Amino acid sequence: MRILLAHTEASFLSLEALLAGWGYEVVLAQDGRAALQVLQGEHPPKLAFLDRFLPDRDSLELCREVRRADSSPYIYLILLAPEQNPADLVAALDAGADLYLSEPLDADQLRAYLQAARRILDLQDELIAALEALREQAARDSLTGLWNHGAILEILQHEWERSQRLGHPLGVIMADLDYFKSINDQFGHLGGDQVLKQVARRLESTLRHYDWIGRYGGEEFLVVLPGCDTPTTLLLAERLRKSISGKALLLPEGPVPLSISVGVCACSDPHRADVQSLLRAADTALYRAKDSGRNRVERALPPDLLERRSG
């Protein structure tokens, strides 16, 4: 674990050696400004020792700045004072410090304090991981495990904005399972659910690791392809179609013949259109594929992708 040590007294050298001897990675700061830069950096230490009297700012105000930033994960703050002062201890805790220690430090006590701090930080990490898992679970389709409707649209918006910044193309695929109503009628809703799960797995396993796929609704799937122009998007769409078509799924009630219809739209200049026009164009191409006999890939035609209206 990394620990920040912001200290001006000569005794900090022995504290640094002590922490390093216990296996901690020590990051040094000579004043409050340097300490704040470290604590507000991209990967801040999880624990910080702050001299109560830093040369350029009050360490209590430094604690307040760290807490106002509401950093995640939590940073455990320990203030080091030259002597114990009950009123100052209360002020330190009120400012956001987790622990107030006076010098000289007892090595055994300090080690015990650090072990207690690590338990708190470990619990914080577990809580953050659990919250992230809940967020992802809420963004997943409960049946297929793919991103759900809202999540895949957010992903599409994010990738669209990124493509605008970088000037990269973006491809979109809309895929619809053919004759799904007949599958439900013949094999029941449980059978239909099994079909959707298997189709989702096949589609997902066919994509590149940086592509995105979500269940757009019912038996329809939306695929977002970063960096893909029209030829590449068509190639991947055909690969998706072949992963489903002609490969029957075996259910206890019998084999289920499968195929999908696919609509494709790619935009090489993201500034010429918007997300909604891209989706509409892919959806129009999908229905063209279904109207043309299903089990095929159709690309968006120029009239399908309407330019974004100015203003």
Q: Which residues are catalytic?
A: 219
- Residue matched to tokens 């179609």: 241
Question: What are the phi and psi torsion angles at 141 (to 5°)?
Answer: -70, 125
Of 122, 289, 156, 291, the C-alpha closest to 228 is: 156
Is the CB of residue 121 less than 8 Å from the CB of residue 46? yes
How would DSSP label each residue in 150-200? Answer: HHHHHHHHHHHHHHHHHT--EEEEEEEETTHHHHHHHHHHHHHHHHHHHHH
Long-range contacts of 91-96 (CB under 8 A, 24+ apart): 91/60, 92/52, 92/60, 92/63, 95/60, 95/61, 95/63, 95/64, 95/67, 96/63, 96/64, 96/66, 96/67
- Helix or strand holding residue 34 (H, E): helix 32-39
For residue 8, count other CB atoms closer than 10 A to its CB: 13
